[in-house]
Homo-oligomer: A and B are copies of this chain.
């Protein structure tokens, strides 16, 4: 369960009946724009480009509750995405060995072997579809407050792009990025990224990357100090996304090499708005929003499913062996993770806003 006031439960297994979500305490009266939602889900869906797995799924949610006459009711919203087009046979062959980099062994230990291992079960990347869904539902809620969210790919493998500068983060740029299949800032980097993916694929291997997500239009003063700080709540949401191994705000780990005189973002006021030329703190100080753009980077590890033979243990950890992971797998999930992280940020911010009475 994620959230303080807004509460999100995500359920389902990769090869079970379906996956979905329940969201409590949503604002009532948000218009459900089915086209926009389906379009957003399609950004994450597999099979849309040569970069990703050929598994194609409609990923169209069925609303069981909480939607009435085209709007959120405010009562608990349940949506289900049925599982179709699953080829369990691909996976069952490998069930006796733990796939390296996956949660097969840890899940077995956690659930004493009762969990559904097919396709990763509840640990499957497919469980990010409900996260995208709740983001798509809540995006208009933030937009109505002037808050827009977008993201771009900073790195895939060795191909690296620059980061966002404070001044350029506008709703227009974020919107433009959201329209790109591989959202990058520097022209031509996307081709290098494609080459990285292609090369890994040819080798039966995979690559990871870094995504920078941003929010603009936030008011100053959102969030609470310490444990409910914006960074604490956003990072909690981000690390729930499979394959995320690092989360950093603003300059993040680069800040460790800076001097204070360089890292401090000097504030100034202009036309009644507090601004900053730099954004090393990611728009958050003391856990609370400055009102300047929020930026957060996430490191995505390379897809653990690769065609190369690997050493491993049996699911129960008792014996050694080898595994060749079969089935359809993304050589790089970074592009598909973009809408997932945008949505995780949307949810976290919407929860923080809904929690801030006054």
Contacts and interface: CB of A to CB of B under 8 A. Distances in A.
Contacts of A115: 28, 68, 73-75
B110 A318 contact: no
Per DSSP, chain A at the interface is mixed
A80 interface: yes
30 contacts: A8-B227, A11-B76, A28-B111, A28-B115, A29-B111, A68-B115, A68-B116, A74-B110, A74-B114, A100-B264, A103-B287, A103-B288, A105-B220, A107-B225, A109-B288, A122-B225, A200-B259, A205-B259, A207-B260, A220-B317, A232-B239, A245-B251, A246-B249, A246-B253, A251-B301, A260-B305, A263-B301, A264-B310, A267-B313, A269-B320
A284 B75 CA distance: 17
Interface stretch (A48-56, A58-66, A176-184): A58-66
Contacts of A310: 261, 264, 266
Interface string A302-326: 1111101011110001111000000
A337 to B, nearest CB: 11
A118 B197 CA distance: 53
Contacts of A224: 25, 110
Nearest to A159: B257
Contacts of A66: 11
Interface string A191-209: 0000000001001011111
Interface in A226-276: 226-229, 231-233, 235-240, 242, 244-269, 274
Nearest to A158: B257
A227 B236 contact: yes
A13 interface: yes
A143 B61 CA distance: 38
Interface stretch (A15-23, A87-95, A165-173): A15-23
Give the contact-size bracket for chain A: 35 or more
Given A13-B68, A208-B260, A268-B320, 9 more contacts: A9-B9, A73-B111, A101-B263, A106-B284, A109-B220, A110-B221, A256-B299, A258-B301, A258-B302
A38 interface: no
A159 to B, nearest CB: 10
Contacts of A248: 245-248, 253, 299
A311 B290 CA distance: 16
A215 interface: no
Given A98-B267, A301-B258, A64 B313 contact: no
A203 to B, nearest CB: 8
Nearest to A78: B11
A248 B243 CA distance: 12
A264 B5 contact: no
B245 A236 contact: no
Given A78-B12, A157-B257, A208-B255, A122 B358 contact: no
